[in-house]
């Protein structure tokens, strides 16, 4: 693998993670450039979430190197102690799938958004409130949301709160793990638009884990296709969608039901493809 | 048109701390016999509540406050569903016998403590006077038909030993084993991977053309609708906004809300541009004021004020644009 360059934010090399001897992620290598959106697609069990979690060190990979271009230069995340990782956590954040499970029901929106600032000792009380209000504006929520609890919000609004929490520390790398899968199509469109706006405003880099290929096609620049823990194909999203090389990618693409009734669904057969 | 179900003026209220929530407001549509009818809409639009009304599964604090559901099965005399009393034997025959249901979450729909063979056979034993051996034999046949191979071994297995797609096949077998005239599928593929979804959709479609039953398919995925449905009912805030054939509704939608739903699909939008949302398509048009459904010359029905009944396909994104997802090739 070529050495990392300054326009990269992340470089993963030979990453593997085993659970009880079963390989969940096996020998995965890729680069992420600054301000791009890299999609990771695959079926459930293909290892995409495990890969994302290994990168953020939510779980520890067994093999491989995860290089991150932090504000203080390149660091290797895989060997760092939990303590040494704390300052880096400001720079890498996660937006989760389920807007109901990922917010503490007993905290107000203000407390939820302020907590990362308190943990990282950012600003005084007044400055933190300013930051929270500013972030609420960014995600297009009303100021009177501050004193309310998550249950008072719809799914789309909750996802906005989750996005605000991830972005309040001004991270560079944001991992979106199925962040729009639980939403209705129209709300999903709003959240996708919001993620794209915020990326442009704040220069964010997204690692976008998703199983919905049409969402990936819209939002991502490049994509990794994962199957049984390995990356089977990667490249520019338009190339891969227009001209998939690997059977597994062809299988995934053939299974998407087209919203045009005159384009019949003809899913390929997994066994005929030898998968 | 021969309808197996005729739903008229159906209204459902849910009592909440802050007053009555109107889950359904004068919902009416027909389910044609031997066809697939899809109900589409966002969460909270009343799709599942409508299905639950047909099965009479609305529980307090919910209540059916008005309307009728006329059911005209081929096997027995027609009857009206809403007015059935709880003890009416036809209610038991209806649930799982004449009409059955496939749910979203197969693990929740199956009992973890019984073998799959037992669960499919139970559906038979509930509705017909046959012996246990005969029921198990028929269960095996149905499981084989929904694509679960190696039956002798698998029939003795428990749901946790099955993958999500296989579990949904078991649920479908359970639903079809008594040969219902109407099969209601409530988001049956939403929890599945796209590849498994394609398998289950193909299965439902093949079984429907074999068995010639009527299917009421509830989903929020317009791709699924396009692939499966003959007729489409669009719901929003407990009301029906548009009814038509799948081509009418998806290719030349008339109601601004339907146009918004279609435009919000990511695969149809040009890359780099913001996605259309329902709000951006509907704009400041009023879609919350109820209008009665008007039947147009081409047979579709739409809930719009009289002045707006001509179809101007130029606004909203044309639905005929090919989804460039590669699925087409």
d(C-alpha B193, C-alpha A146), whole Å: 37
Distances (CA, A) of A74 to A2, A9, A89, B214: 15, 9, 14, 62
Q: Say if the Cβ atoms of B275 and A264 lie within 8 Å.
A: no
The pLDDT score that the predictor gives to residue B323 is 39
pLDDT value, residue B270: 78
Q: Which residues of B168-186 are buried (b: 16+ CB within 10 A; e: fewer)?
A: bbbbbbbbbbbebbbbbbb
> Is there a contact between A156 and A190 (Cβ–Cβ < 8 Å)?
yes
B190 and chain A in contact, CB less than 8 A: no
Return per-residue pLDDT of chain B as tens, 329 residues. 799 999 999 999 999 888 899 999 999 999 999 999 999 998 889 999 999 999 999 999 999 999 999 999 999 999 999 999 999 999 999 999 999 999 888 888 999 999 999 999 999 999 999 999 999 999 999 999 999 989 999 999 999 999 888 999 999 999 999 999 999 999 998 888 889 899 999 999 999 999 999 999 999 899 999 999 999 999 999 999 999 999 999 999 999 999 999 999 887 777 778 888 888 888 888 888 888 899 999 999 999 988 777 655 444 444 443 434 434 33
pLDDT at B102: 93
A226 CA: distance to closest CA in chain B (Å): 14
What confidence score (pLDDT) does residue B171 get? 94
Q: Which residue has the higher pLDDT, A187 or B9?
A: B9
Query: Considering only CB atoms, which chain B residues are within 8 Å of A39?
Result: none
ipTM: 0.84
**Can you give the pLDDT at residue B279?**
85
Asked if B320's CB is within 8 angstroms of A252's CB, the reply is: no
> Which residue did the predictor score with more confidence, B318 or A176?
A176
Give the model's pLDDT for residue B274: 87
Q: What is the rounded CA–CA span in Å between residue A261 and residue B328?
A: 11
Supply the mean pLDDT for chain A.
Answer: 93
Range A25-30 average pLDDT: 96
Are the Cβ atoms of B326 and A185 closer than 8 angstroms?
no
Residues 6+ apart with CB under 8 A from B190: B104, B219, B220, B221
CA dist B46 and A39 (Å) reads 34
What is the full DSSP assignment across B30-52?
A: EEETTSEEEEE--TTSSHHHHHH
Distance CA A246, CA B221 (A): 27
B226:A187 CB<8 A: no
Please determine, for residue A12, whether its predicted confidence score (pLDDT) is greater than 70. yes
Contact residues, chain B, for A182 at CB < 8 Å? none
User: A202-213 as b/e, with b when 16 or more CB fall inside 10 Å?
Assistant: eebbbbbbbbbb
The alpha-carbon gap from B46 to the nearest alpha carbon of chain A, in Å, equals 14
Task: Report the alpha-carbon distance of residue B141 to residue B135 in Å, rounded.
Answer: 10
Element (H, E) at B120: helix B116-127
Cα angle B284, B288, B290 (rounded to 5 degrees) comes to 130
Q: Mean of the pLDDT values across residues A182-193?
A: 88
Identify the pLDDT of residue A173: 97
Contact A189 B225 (CB under 8 A): no
Q: Using CB atoms, pick whichever of B223, B225, B275 lies closest to residue A193.
A: B275
Nearest CA in chain A to B228: A261
Q: What is the DSSP string of A204-245?
A: -EEEEE-S-HHHHHHH-SEEEEEETTEEEEEEEHHHHHHS--
Sheet containing B79-80: order of strands? B19-32, B3-16, B62-71, B79-80
Distance between CA atoms of residues B196 and A154, nearest Å: 29
Q: What is the mean pLDDT of residues A250-261?
A: 93
Residues 6+ apart with CB under 8 A from B87: none
- Global pTM reads 0.88
């Amino acid at each position: 693998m070529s050495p990392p360059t300054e326009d990269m934010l992340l470089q993963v090399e030979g990453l593997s993670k085993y659970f009880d001897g079963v390989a969940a992620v096996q020998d995965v290598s890729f680069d992420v450039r600054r301000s791009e959106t890299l999609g990771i697609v695959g079926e459930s069990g293909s290892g995409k979430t495990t890969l994302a979690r290994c990168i953020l060190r939510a779980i520890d990979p067994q093999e491989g190197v995860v290089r991150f271009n932090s504000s203080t230069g390149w660091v290797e995340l895989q060997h760092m102690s939990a303590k040494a990782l704390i300052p880096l956590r400001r720079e890498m954040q996660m937006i989760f799938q389920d807007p109901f499970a990922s917010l503490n029901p007993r905290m107000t929106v203000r407390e939820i958004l302020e907590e990362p600032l308190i943990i990282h000792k950012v600003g005084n009380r007044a400055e933190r409130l300013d930051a929270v209000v500013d972030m609420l504006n960014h995600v297009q929520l009303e100021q009177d949301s501050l004193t309310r609890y998550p249950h008072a919000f719809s799914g789309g609004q909750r996802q906005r709160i989750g996005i605000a929490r991830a972005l309040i520390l001004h991270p560079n790398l944001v991992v979106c793990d199925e962040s729009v899968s639980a939403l209705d199509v129209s709300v999903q469109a709003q959240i996708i638009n919001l993620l794209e706006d915020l990326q442009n405003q704040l220069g964010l880099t997204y690692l976008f884990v998703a199983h919905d290929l049409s969402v990936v096609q819209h939002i991502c620049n490049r994509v990794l296709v994962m199957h049984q823990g390995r990356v089977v194909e990667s490249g520019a999203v338009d190339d891969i969608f227009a001209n998939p090389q690997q059977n597994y990618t062809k299988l995934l693409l053939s299974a998407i039901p087209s919203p045009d009734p005159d384009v019949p669904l003809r899913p390929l057969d997994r066994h005929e493809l030898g998968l | 048109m021969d309808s197996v179900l005729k739903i008229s003026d159906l209204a459902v209220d849910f009592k909440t701390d802050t007053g009555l929530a109107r889950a359904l407001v004068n919902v009416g549509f027909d389910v044609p016999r031997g066809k697939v009818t899809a109900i589409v809409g966002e969460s909270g639009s009343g799709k599942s509540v409508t299905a639950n009304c047909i099965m009479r599964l609305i529980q307090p604090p919910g209540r059916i406050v008005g309307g009728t559901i006329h059911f005209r099965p081929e096997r027995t005399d027609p009857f009206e569903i809403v007015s059935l009393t709880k003890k009416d034997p036809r209610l038991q025959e209806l649930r799982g016998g004449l009409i059955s249901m496939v749910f979203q979450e197969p693990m929740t729909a199956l009992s973890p403590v019984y073998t799959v063979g037992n669960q499919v056979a139970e559906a038979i034993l509930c509705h017909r006077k046959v012996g246990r051996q005969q029921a198990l034999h028929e269960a095996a046949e149905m499981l084989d038909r929904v694509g679960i191979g190696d039956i002798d071994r698998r029939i003795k297995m428990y749901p946790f030993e099955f993958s999500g797609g296989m579990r949904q096949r078991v649920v479908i077998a359970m639903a079809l084993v008594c040969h219902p005239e109407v099969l209601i599928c409530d988001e049956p593929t939403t929890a599945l991977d796209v590849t498994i979804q394609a398998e289950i959709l193909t299965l439902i479609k093949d079984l429907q053309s074999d068995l010639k039953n009527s299917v009421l398919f509830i989903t929020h995925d317009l791709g699924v609708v396009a692939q499966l449905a003959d007729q489409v009912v669009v719901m929003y805030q407990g009301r029906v906004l548009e009814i038509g054939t799948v081509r009418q509704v998806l290719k030349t939608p008339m109601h601004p809300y339907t146009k918004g739903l279609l435009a919000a699909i990511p695969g149809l939008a040009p890359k780099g541009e913001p996605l259309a949302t329902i709000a951006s398509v509907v704009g400041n048009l009023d879609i919350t004021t109820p209008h009665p459904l008007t039947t147009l010359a081409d047979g579709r029905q739409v809930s719009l004020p009289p002045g707006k009944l001509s179809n101007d396909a130029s606004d909203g994104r044309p639905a005929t644009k090919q989804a460039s997802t590669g699925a087409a090739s």
